[in-house]
Amino acid sequence: MRYTLTMVESKPPWHGIPREEIEWHPTVESSLCIGCGICVLGCGPGVFKFDYEANRPVVANSLNCKVGCVTCANTCPTHAISFPTLTYLHKQYKPKNVIQNSRKEIQEKKAQYQYT
């Protein structure tokens, strides 16, 4: 059984693409999950909640997941967390103008990101 619960709320776009249009969030494979909570505790954006009765994490705020981040999957000791492939994400770049949008955004935020 897999647990994924989505709460819909408006999020900032990802390089010009509405966040709601990017299918990027973790999926927890319950047969592999040991309920350690490392994913819940390590996720800064708060994607997960913990179901104490089932002793399992639940993807409760999927749109909070940072596009491209797989930290929870990398730190899961039983490999119970999966994501869409990076190929899926890379296929969004050209038709959605991600590179051009990113270049524009980095220029607009020069004061924030300038290395001195």
Q: Specify the CATH class of 2-113 in words.
A: alpha beta
The helix (run of H) or strand (run of E) holding residue 108 is: helix 98-108
The arithmetic mean of pLDDT across residues 61-84, rounded, is: 97
From residue 81, alpha-carbon distances to 4, 47, 50, 77, 97 in Å are 11, 13, 14, 10, 29
Q: Which two tokens stand for residue 87?
A: 């190929």
What residue segments make up the domains of the chain, in order of their start?
Answer: 2-113
pLDDT of residue 38: 98
Average pLDDT (101-105) is 95
Q: Assess whether pLDDT exceeds 90 at residue 8.
A: no
- pTM for this predicted structure: 0.82
pLDDT digits 0-9 by tens, 13-51: 999 999 999 999 999 999 999 999 999 999 999 999 999
Tell me what pLDDT residue 72 has: 98
Tell me the pLDDT of the chain averaged across its residues.
92
